A and B are shown apart, each in its own frame.
Chain A
Amino acid sequence: MELLDAFLPYLLPIFYAVAMVSVFMGLCSYSVLAERKVCSWIQGRVGPNRTRLPLLGHIPILGNLLTGLGIFQPAADGLKFLFKEEIVPGHVNKFYYMLAPVLALAPALTTMVVLPFGRYVDADGITQPLVLANVDLGMLIILGISSLGVYGIVLAGWASNSKYPFLGGIRASAQMISYELAMGLALLPVFMWAATPGSDYGMSLFGAVQSQQTLWLFIWQPLSALIFLVALFAETNRLPFDMAESETDLVGGFHTEYGCFKFGLFFVAEYAHVIMGSALFVLLFLGGWNFLPGLADPWGESLIGSLLSIAWFTTKVFSMIFFFIWMRWTLPRFRYDQVMSLGWKILLPLAVGNLVFNTIIIVLYDTFTR
């Protein structure tokens, strides 16, 4: 018993981390399903509706409903990836070829460590975030690590030793560099407002959420929100910015030479980035778990309150994921040079201007209110 007490502080974080990773991976696979379903609805089709698990799928009405919604499809997809023949083309650099999918997925999973997903009120009556590691530099960590995800893609393009993946990898890195700047600059005004001198939150995401209790940032920083959103689409390599894998001109882009579970990892990584991006946008601009603009926190202090805040947060994240998918099946892909000129000639100057403008406002505000 004493041994357990001694180890508990170490065991508990591991347990939490494993739990969060499992939930996150589950969300990833169901985002894939959501993508397929929403896409098929937009195109007037039905989407996956045949996969049926032995027992669960044969419950009279519920079974048919779940099967029709394709709820069991992710399991079938995963199993398919697992049992397919593992093909490694002869012309690849084996080590880096194997490493690339892992490198693509790992950053997305790492960033969620600092992602708050709800709040609770501790014994002293102070509101605390529900998060694996509540660090002050949350946003910096996310920006830093999530851009490492592109190394997986570049590595895949390089290690595949074939021209289409190579082009895909180059495009991905160029795009990442171009949009990272605008993204960071769009975020600065947010934190300039949220982390006023003397506030104890710093760059933590929890602080950003708490600062939005009355007014969501999306409403009074629409330009930042827009730039961030566009950059987010580019960073996650989603259509209309999926330069790295543009199927029409690059076969499959960086994952052309990949099959079975290695392709599956890339696939999951893409959706992991989408979920992370959605969560980030919700935290920064859509008020996190705050209920509505003006009505911050009707949840109460009990456990139920915390659960409700988590539920409300996930609802918002799901809507954001839906928006990502909806966007993908609405817009055509940009041409590569258009992507570059949008990033450098429009978004970057806009973001700089926005930053300067907000700085001036803050200075004026400080001069006249103190």
Chain B
Amino acid sequence: MAKTKVLERKPLTPMEKTFLPQILSGLKTTFGTMMQKDVTLQYPEERPNIPDNYRGVPTLVKDPNGREKCVSCQLCEFVCPPKAIRMTPGEIDAEADPERAHVEKAPKEFDINMLRCIYCGLCQEVCPEEAIFLQDVFSLSGYSRKEMINNKEKLYELGGTLPDQHGKWDKKKAAEQSGNAH
């Protein structure tokens, strides 16, 4: 059992019973805080510092070459607890984009319903392609329910590019070409 130490309370001195010394010291404290610097952030002009691991609005990111990273594996759609993600997988047109033909798939449509999203970050955690990230956008508003559904363009616009240097699919292609796939 944890040891407890009983603090002895001294009886109040006659002066303390009038409460006047305590009131005076209280006044001193409040005067002290009055002299201190304000902690207010003038919000719309000043923005708060967002830490790196902040979980804001989920977004889709592109790789340094500006190419889509998502391969529409649908893991995020599956894991999302409130079913905020709805996506339609699509094929990459090999003729139009021979560079990325070997990736084979990319999302045709990708909607995240921000009225459902609970910002849990599971989509980011599950994504095998590091394509979806919860970034620093924290204020989100719209006039209608429809406006609150982020479609693919919006998600990429919010997400931007991620400066990672994996080049996973480039490496895979190079390996294939040099004859030692896998």
A331–B33 CA distance with the chains assembled, in angstroms: 14
* Interchain CB contact under 8 A, A329 and B30: yes
Q: For residue A323, which residue of chain B has the nearest CB?
A: B27
Q: A42-B30, A326-B30 are in contact. Are A331 and B23 (CB under 8 A)?
A: yes
Would you give the shortest CB distance from B42 to chain A, in whole angstroms?
8
* Residues of chain A contacted by B37 (CB below 8 angstroms): 44
* Interchain CB contact under 8 A, A330 and B29: yes
* Interchain CB contact under 8 A, B27 and A327: yes
* Interchain CB contact under 8 A, B34 and A331: no
| B interface SS class | helix
Selected from B26, B27, B38, the residue in CB contact (under 8 A) with A44 is: B38
Q: Kindly count the residue-residue contacts between A and B in the assembled complex, taking CB atoms under 8 Å apart.
A: 33
* Interchain CB contact under 8 A, B39 and A330: no
**A248 CB within 8 Å of chain B:** no
Selected from B23, B33, B38, the residue in CB contact (under 8 A) with A46 is: B38
Total interface residues in chain B, CB < 8 Å? 14
Q: For residue B24, which residue of chain A has the nearest CB?
A: A330
**B31 CB within 8 Å of chain A:** yes
* Interchain CB contact under 8 A, A330 and B23: yes
* Interchain CB contact under 8 A, A45 and B30: no
A327–B23 CA distance with the chains assembled, in angstroms: 9
**A215 CB within 8 Å of chain B:** no
* Residues of chain B contacted by A41 (CB below 8 angstroms): 33-34, 38
- Classify chain A: how many residues form its interface, as a range: 10 to 19
* Interchain CB contact under 8 A, B34 and A38: yes
* Interchain CB contact under 8 A, A44 and B40: yes
**B53 CB within 8 Å of chain A:** no
Q: Digit string of B111-146 for contact with A (CB within 8 Å is 1, else 0)? A: 000000000000000000000000000000000000
**B165 CB within 8 Å of chain A:** no
* Residues of chain B contacted by A45 (CB below 8 angstroms): 38-40
**B13 CB within 8 Å of chain A:** no
Selected from A40, A46, A330, the residue in CB contact (under 8 A) with B30 is: A330
**A43 CB within 8 Å of chain B:** yes
A326–B26 CA distance with the chains assembled, in angstroms: 10
* Interchain CB contact under 8 A, A42 and B33: yes
Q: For residue A49, which residue of chain B has the nearest CB?
A: B42
A43–B37 CA distance with the chains assembled, in angstroms: 10
A109–B29 CA distance with the chains assembled, in angstroms: 35
A46–B42 CA distance with the chains assembled, in angstroms: 9
Interface residues in B22-77 by Cβ distance below 8 A to A read: 23, 26-27, 29-31, 33-34, 36-40, 42
* Residues of chain A contacted by B26 (CB below 8 angstroms): 330-331
A45–B41 CA distance with the chains assembled, in angstroms: 9
A331–B19 CA distance with the chains assembled, in angstroms: 11
* Residues of chain A contacted by B29 (CB below 8 angstroms): 330
A45–B43 CA distance with the chains assembled, in angstroms: 13
A59–B40 CA distance with the chains assembled, in angstroms: 25
A44–B33 CA distance with the chains assembled, in angstroms: 7
A45–B38 CA distance with the chains assembled, in angstroms: 5
Q: For residue B22, which residue of chain A has the nearest CB?
A: A331
* Residues of chain B contacted by A329 (CB below 8 angstroms): 30
Interface residues in A1-60 by Cβ distance below 8 A to B read: 38, 40-46
Selected from A46, A330, A331, the residue in CB contact (under 8 A) with B40 is: A46
* Interchain CB contact under 8 A, A326 and B31: yes
Q: Digit string of A317-337 for contact with B (CB within 8 Å is 1, else 0)? A: 000000000110111000000
Would you give the shortest CB distance from A208 to chain B, in whole angstroms?
25
A111–B37 CA distance with the chains assembled, in angstroms: 40
Q: For residue A38, which residue of chain B has the nearest CB?
A: B34
Provide 8 A-B residue pairs closer than 8 Å at the C-beta atoms, listed in order of the A residue: A41-B34, A42-B30, A43-B33, A45-B38, A46-B40, A326-B30, A326-B31, A330-B26
Binding site for A on B (CB under 8 A): 23, 26-27, 29-31, 33-34, 36-40, 42
Q: Given contact pairs A42-B34, A46-B42, A330-B26, enumerate 7 new A-B contacts (beta carbons under 8 Å).
A: A43-B33, A44-B38, A46-B38, A326-B30, A329-B30, A330-B29, A331-B23
Across the A-B interface, the 3 shortest Cβ-Cβ residue pairs? A41-B34, A330-B30, A330-B26
